[in-house]
Amino acid sequence: MTENIFSLERITYTYQDSAKTVLHDISLDIPNGVITSLLGPNGSGKTTLIDILLGWKKPNTGKVLVKGRDLSSYSRRERSKLISLVPQNEPLQFSFTLLDYVLFGRAPYLPQLGLPGKKDIEIAFEALESVGLTDLHSRSITSLSGGERQLIMLARSLAQQPEILLLDEPTSSLDPGNTEKVLDILQELGKSGLTILFSTHDPSASAHIAEYIIMLSEGKKFLADKSKFILTAENLTNLYGAKLNVTHVDESIIIYRESN
C-alpha cells in the first residue's frame, strides 16, 4: 500500500489570457487514507490546485501522479471511479429531486447512454444515508438550505464510490452549526479509509479533522506536515500575515486572534 496517493512534481500553472501564474513550482505529496487539509488565504491557489488534482486543468510544467501513475494516463472513466469532487457550490437551475441528484454520481459506472438501475438507486440511498438526508429524498434540491446543499453535493460524490474525495472549500459559506455537521460527517467518512482532501481558508476547520495539512501561500507550498506539528502560532501568523495564536483545549486545537 503506497504511502502517498497523490504526488505532484514541480507543478506550475499560468492562466492563458492574463498570463498570471497561480502555482509556482509546487511539489507535494498527499498521503493515502487520511484526511488532508489544503490551508491558505484567499487567492493562494487552492482551487487551482484541486482543479489540477481533478484533471480539470492541465499544469504548464510538472507531473501529477496518482497511485504511482500519471494522471493523464487514466481514462475518464477510471479517473472518475477513483477521484470525485464536491464543489463549493453549484447553480441550481432545475428542481431535481435529491435522489435524482445523487444518482448523477453514478455516471462513471454506467455506459454512455445508460440509465441508472436498481443497484445504482441502492447506492444512492446509501449515500443519502451517510449524510442524513434519506427522508428528504423526494424533495427538490431548490428547497434545501445552505448546509443541506453542501451535504447533497457530498452525497453525490459518495455515490461515485471514489477512493479519493476532493472538496473545494466545503465549509467556507456555512454557519458554525452546519460547518460542524459537515466536518463531523467528513471525519466519520475518513475512518473508513477514504482519502479526503479539502481546501479551506479557515485553520480551525483544518485543526478539527485534518491529520495532515498543506499550507499554501501565493501559489507556493509554504509548509506541509502532520497537523499536530504544523499548527503553530508562528506558522499561522506567517501564513496569514495576521497575528494568530494557538492553544489546546482537551483534545482540540483552538486558533484565535491575538489581541494586543
Q: Which residues sit at the interface with other proteins, rule CB under 8 A?
A: 51, 54-56, 76-77, 79-81, 83-85, 87, 90-97, 100, 104-105, 107-108, 112-116, 138-143, 157, 160
3-state secondary structure of 197: strand
At its nearest, how many Å lie between other proteins and the CB of residue 166?
A: 8
- Contacts of residue 195, defined as CB under 8 A and 6 or more positions apart, other chains included, come to 5, 30, 31, 32, 33, 34, 36, 163, 164, 165
At its nearest, how many Å lie between other proteins and the CB of residue 197?
A: 13
Terminal alpha carbon distance of the chain: 49
Nearer CB in complex with other proteins: 94/256: 94
At its nearest, how many Å lie between other proteins and the CB of residue 108?
A: 4
User: HEC states along 147-179?
Assistant: HHHHHHHHHHHHHCCCCEEEECCCCCCCCHHHH
Cβ neighbourhood burial of 219 (10 Å; 0-12, 13-18, 19+): buried
> Can you tell me the distance from the alpha carbon of 18 to that of 54, in angstroms, rounded to the nearest whole number?
22
Nearer CB in complex with other proteins: 29/168: 168
At its nearest, how many Å lie between other proteins and the CB of residue 250?
A: 37
Nearer CB in complex with other proteins: 15/104: 104
Nearer CB in complex with other proteins: 16/112: 112
At its nearest, how many Å lie between other proteins and the CB of residue 154?
A: 13
Nearer CB in complex with other proteins: 75/259: 75
